[in-house]
Chain A
Amino acid sequence: MLSAEKKKELEEAIYAFVGKPIGPPFTGRDVVNEPMIRQWCDAMGETSPNYLDAVAAEKSPHGGIVAPPMMLQAWVMQGWEMHEGYDEPKNEEHRLHKLLTDAGYEGVLGTDTEQSFSRYLRLGDAVTADTVIEHISEEKATGAGVGYFITTRATFTDQNGAELGWMTFRVLKFIPNQPQQAASDDDGAAQPAKPARIKPPMGHDNSWWWQACTDGKIQIQRCGGCEKLRHPPRPMCGACGSMEWDAVESSGRGTLHTYTVIHYPQFPGYEFPIIAALVDLEEGVRMMSSISGCDYEKVEIGMPLQGVIHEDEDGFALPIFRPREDSQ
Chain B
Amino acid sequence: MSRTLADRAAIAGIGATEFSKKSGRTPLQLAVEATRAALEDAGIAAAEVDGMVSFTGDQNAETEIARCLGIPRLTHFSRIHYGGGAACATIQQAAMAVATGISEVVVAYRAFNERSERRFGAGRQGPTADVPVPLPTNWYAPFGFVTPASWVAMFARRYMHEYNASSEDFGRVSVADRKHAATNPKAWFYEQPITLEDHQESRWIVEPLHLLDCCQESDGGVAIVVTSPERARDLAHPPVMIRAAAQGASSDQETMTSYYRDDIAGLPEMGLVGDQLWAQSGLGPDDIQTAILYDHFTPFVLPQLEELGFCERGEARHFIADGNIELGGRLPINTNGGQLGEAYIHGMNGIAEGVRQVRGSAVNQVEDVDHVVVTAGTGVPTSALILGRA
Report how far A318 CA is from B259 CA in the complex, Å. Answer: 19
> Cβ of A268 and Cβ of B150 under 8 Å apart?
no
Q: Which residue in A210, A265, A288, A296 is a CB contact (below 8 Å) of B145?
A: A288
> Cβ of A195 and Cβ of B142 under 8 Å apart?
no
Report how far A113 CA is from B203 CA in the complex, Å. Answer: 39
Q: How far is the CB of A233 from chain B (nearest CB, A)?
A: 9
13 contacts across the A-B interface (CB closer than 8 A): A197-B129, A198-B144, A206-B138, A210-B138, A260-B150, A260-B208, A261-B206, A263-B206, A265-B147, A268-B124, A288-B139, A301-B158, A301-B161
Find chain B residues with CB under 8 A from A286 CB.
259-260
Given A262-B206, A264-B206, A268-B126, residue A197 in contact with residue B142 (CB < 8 A): yes
> Cβ of A198 and Cβ of B146 under 8 Å apart?
yes
CB of A59 within 8 Å of the partner chain: no
> Cβ of B143 and Cβ of A200 under 8 Å apart?
no
Find chain B residues with CB under 8 A from A288 CB.
139-140, 143, 145, 257, 259
Find chain B residues with CB under 8 A from A197 CB.
129, 142, 144
Interface hits, A305-328 → B, CB 8 Å: 316, 318
Stretch in contact with the other chain, from A6-14, A84-92, A138-146, A269-277: A269-277
Given A288-B139, A290-B144, residue A260 in contact with residue B124 (CB < 8 A): no
Mask for A194-211, Cβ within 8 A of B = 1, else 0?
011111111101100010
> Cβ of B158 and Cβ of A258 under 8 Å apart?
yes
Q: B residues within 8 Å of A by Cβ?
A: 21-22, 121-129, 131, 133-135, 138-147, 150, 153-158, 161, 203-209, 257, 259-260, 264
Given A47-B21, A265-B122, residue A196 in contact with residue B260 (CB < 8 A): no
> Cβ of A274 and Cβ of B144 under 8 Å apart?
yes
CB of A76 within 8 Å of the partner chain: no
Report how far A199 CA is from B138 CA in the complex, Å. Answer: 8
> Cβ of A278 and Cβ of B259 under 8 Å apart?
yes
Q: How far is the CB of A216 from chain B (nearest CB, A)?
A: 17
Chain A interface mostly: loop
CB of A80 within 8 Å of the partner chain: no
Report how far A203 CA is from B129 CA in the complex, Å. Answer: 17
Task: Give A264's nearest chain B residue, CB to CB.
Answer: B205
Report how far A311 CA is from B131 CA in the complex, Å. Answer: 21
> Cβ of A301 and Cβ of B157 under 8 Å apart?
yes
Mask for A38-63, Cβ within 8 A of B = 1, else 0?
00000000010000000000000000
Q: How far is the CB of A167 from chain B (nearest CB, A)?
A: 24
What bracket does the count of chain A residues touching chain B fall in?
35 or more
> Cβ of B144 and Cβ of A201 under 8 Å apart?
no
- In the complex, besides A262-B145, A262-B153, A263-B207, 4 extra interface pairs with C-beta distance below 8 angstroms are A263-B203, A269-B124, A269-B144, A286-B259
> Cβ of A290 and Cβ of B143 under 8 Å apart?
yes
Find chain A residues with CB under 8 A from B125 CB.
267
Report how far A257 CA is from B124 CA in the complex, Å. Answer: 26
Q: Which residue in A198, A202, A263, A289 is a CB contact (below 8 Å) of B205?
A: A263
Q: A residues within 8 Å of B by Cβ?
A: 47, 193, 195-203, 205-206, 210, 231-232, 257-265, 267-270, 273-274, 276, 278, 285-286, 288-290, 296, 301, 316, 318
Task: Give B136's nearest chain A residue, CB to CB.
Answer: A232
Q: How far is the CB of B80 from chain A (nearest CB, A)?
A: 24
Q: How far is the CB of B133 from chain A (nearest CB, A)?
A: 5
Q: How far is the CB of A286 from chain B (nearest CB, A)?
A: 5
> Cβ of A200 and Cβ of B133 under 8 Å apart?
yes
Find chain B residues with CB under 8 A from A316 CB.
142
> Cβ of B141 and Cβ of A264 under 8 Å apart?
no
Task: Give A285's nearest chain B residue, CB to CB.
Answer: B260
> Cβ of B129 and Cβ of A198 under 8 Å apart?
yes
* A-B complex: 6 closest residue pairs judged by Cβ atoms: A200-B138, A267-B124, A260-B153, A258-B158, A261-B207, A195-B127
Q: How far is the CB of B309 from chain A (nearest CB, A)?
A: 25
Q: Which residue in A199, A270, A278, A301 is a CB contact (below 8 Å) of B144?
A: A270
Find chain B residues with CB under 8 A from A202 CB.
138
Given A196-B128, A201-B133, A268-B127, residue A262 in contact with residue B147 (CB < 8 A): yes
Q: How far is the CB of B123 from chain A (nearest CB, A)?
A: 4
> Cβ of B143 and Cβ of A269 under 8 Å apart?
no
Find chain B residues with CB under 8 A from A231 CB.
260
Q: How far is the CB of A301 from chain B (nearest CB, A)?
A: 5
> Cβ of A276 and Cβ of B128 under 8 Å apart?
no
> Cβ of B154 and Cβ of A201 under 8 Å apart?
no
Q: How far is the CB of A152 from chain B (nearest CB, A)?
A: 32
Report how far A197 CA is from B129 CA in the complex, Å. Answer: 7
Find chain B residues with CB under 8 A from A265 CB.
121-123, 147
Find chain A residues with CB under 8 A from B257 CB.
288
> Cβ of A206 and Cβ of B135 under 8 Å apart?
yes
> Cβ of B129 and Cβ of A232 under 8 Å apart?
no
